[in-house]
Structures are given as C-alpha cells and as structure tokens.
Amino acid sequence: MKILDVLNEQAVLVDLKSNDKKGVLDELVAPVARMTGTGPEALVKVLMERERLGSTGIGGGIGIPHGKLQALNDLILGFGLSRSGVDFESMDGRPTYIFFLLLVPESSAGLHLKLLAQISRLLKNEDFKAQLMQATNAQEVLRIISEKDEEI
C-alpha cells in the first residue's frame, strides 16, 4: 500500500485557517466526514480522545492526528497545511504546519502502524517537508508525495 492509495484529493487542504488544535481537527475532518458518511462531530470526538492520551504533534512542524472508528471499513487519510503554524501541543513545543489525518477501522491490526511509520519516515526529510510547505494546491501535494511514496 502506498500513501496515495488512501489519500483522496478531496481530503487535501493546503490553507488551514484555524490556529488551535480543535479548529484544525474540525477543518481536517470536514472532507473526510463527507467521504465516510460519519458526522464530523463524531470524528473530532475520536481524535480529541486520542489527543488526551498524548499529543500527536510529533515535533518538527508535524502533526499526525489519528484514531480508530468502529463505522469505518477502510483506512482514511487526510492532509492539511497551515501557513502560519498551529499550537498543537507538539512534543517540541513549536508550531505545527504539516498535518496527516489518519482514521482507521476499530478492528485494524497493524496496517495503520505501517502507514504511520511510512509517513513519519518521509517527514524526516527536510526537502520533502519544504516542498510540501510550498504546495499551493491539492494536485501539487499529491505530486510531491507520489515522488517519494513507496509500497509498504
């Protein structure tokens, strides 16, 4: 599986407006809610419950909010860029700019962990992060990811 196997263009947002965690999650789940048929409030609730266990702001300007949802059949991935940065309670205390939203079926075993690891590995590449930060539309984000995307 590649990242682009689960990242739908409709779930790529290149200009997040919110400046707090809840607002960013609200924005990120909006297109995903339409795709899954699950209400955005339910999705945000799952994500906020996961955030209470520890921030998914992993540092280096990266946030990977994720959660398990009973109603899902497949992995759902979303992407968001914040030009100004968000206080996402990141491990390094710095603003978060690049977000990958991952929702997985409650019964999901290990595939989502592999996807999280692949995303994390890609985001360690500073050139890759810089290219994403310069993207102006969803197609550009998908092209940048496709150049680095590997089968897992």
Catalytic: 112?
Answer: no
Question: Whole-angstrom Cα distance, residue 75 to residue 54?
Answer: 22
Question: Whole-angstrom Cα distance, residue 87 to residue 61?
Answer: 10
User: Would you give the distance in Å from CA 138 to the centre of its chain?
Assistant: 14
DSSP label at 73? S
Phi, psi of 89 (to 5 degrees): 55, 45
* Angle between helix 126-134 and helix 111-123 axes, rounded to 10 deg: 90
Decide if 50 contacts 65 (C-beta within 8 A).
Answer: yes
Catalytic residue among 66, 81, 132, 141: 66
Residues with catalytic annotation? 66
